[in-house]
Amino acid sequence: MAETGALLSVRNLSKTYGALVVTDNVSLDIPERELHVIIGPNGAGKTTLIHQLSGRLPSNGGKVVFAGEDITRLPMHQRVRRGLARSFQITALLDGFTALENVAIAVQARSGSSFRFFAPVARDRKLNDEAMAVLARLGLEDRAHRRAGTLSHGEKRQLEIAVALATGARMLLLDEPLAGTSHEESAVLVELMRALKQTHTLILIEHDMDAVFSLADRISVLVYGKVIASGPPAEVRAHPEVRAAYLGDEQADKAPEAAAAGGGR
């Protein structure tokens, strides 16, 4: 049974390729407005799990319930319509369109319009006003009329989150949003995610342990496709299997300082 108030409930989710088990009976409950971070070594199955939750990959077993509805067999676009949206480890923006157009198209898609109606977007005042409001929330209003392809790497990450928000998402699945960003860009994105968790539920894959322990309400550790620990940052940090398999004593000892600086909820 899911926890009372869980927005997302995952039970025994598995993904296999022949004899290769990538995710192995993963079970999670994510309450509304929690920032839940999934960590683990390379090859642990983290991105595959996000693909399964988003609907990009079908699962070989298990169940996914979102907002009380079984969405296990729903394709990605139908999950987006229900409020479950993701960003990609590698940005997936329309580089030839402006930041405003990228977000406006997402707003348009949420209303049920087809992507073939690119042209009318520029002439739709209401659509653009809503898109501009999303960009302003992400700190990108001064980049609204720049083509997405000309933005910095960190700005593209911000825009990708803006596009996800514009779909009407209740939950955001963020796959390594800090990857490849500069120190300054990372700081902006960390503050952005800290603000977003006041209004949205977030599942985050991230390798930056300072950011993880600063932001997380709870952390789940995935090793060889299995969740070996899940709980508040301090509990996970002290878990002997986590220290042995992933964090290591030096990184685990640094984690309290990061948590104190930013603090999970």
- pTM of the predicted structure, to 2 decimals: 0.85
Is 50 exceeded by the pLDDT of residue 47?
A: yes
Q: What's CA 50's distance to the chain center, in Å?
A: 8
pLDDT digit string, tens, across residues 112-159: 554 444 545 556 788 889 999 999 999 999 999 999 999 999 999 999
Judged on CB neighbours under 10 Å (0-12, 13-18, 19+), 105 is buried
**180 pLDDT exceeds 50?**
yes
Which stretches does DSSP call E strand in the chain?
6-17, 20-31, 35-39, 61-66, 69-70, 84-87, 171-175, 201-205, 218-223, 226-231
pLDDT of residue 256: 42
Triad 188, 260, 164: Cα angle to 5°: 35
Q: Is domain 1-83+171-182+201-265 given the CATH code 3.40.50.800 in the classification?
A: no
Predicted pLDDT of residue 265: 39
Q: How large is the C-alpha radius of gyration of the chain? A: 18
pLDDT per position as a tens digit, 231-249: 999 999 889 888 887 666 5
Mean pLDDT for the stretch of residues 215-234: 95
Residue spans of alpha helices (H) in 138-182: 153-166
DSSP state of 55: T
Provide the residue type at 1 as one letter.
M
pLDDT of residue 116: 47
- Report d(CA 226, CA 24) in Å as an integer: 5
User: Where exactly are the structural domains of the chain?
Assistant: 1-83+171-182+201-265, 93-169
* Backbone angle region of 205, left / alpha / beta, with phi > 0 → left and psi within -120 to 50 → alpha: beta
pLDDT of residue 250: 46
d(Cα 249, Cα 224) in Å, to the nearest integer?
A: 20
If you average pLDDT over residues 244-264, what whole number do you get?
52
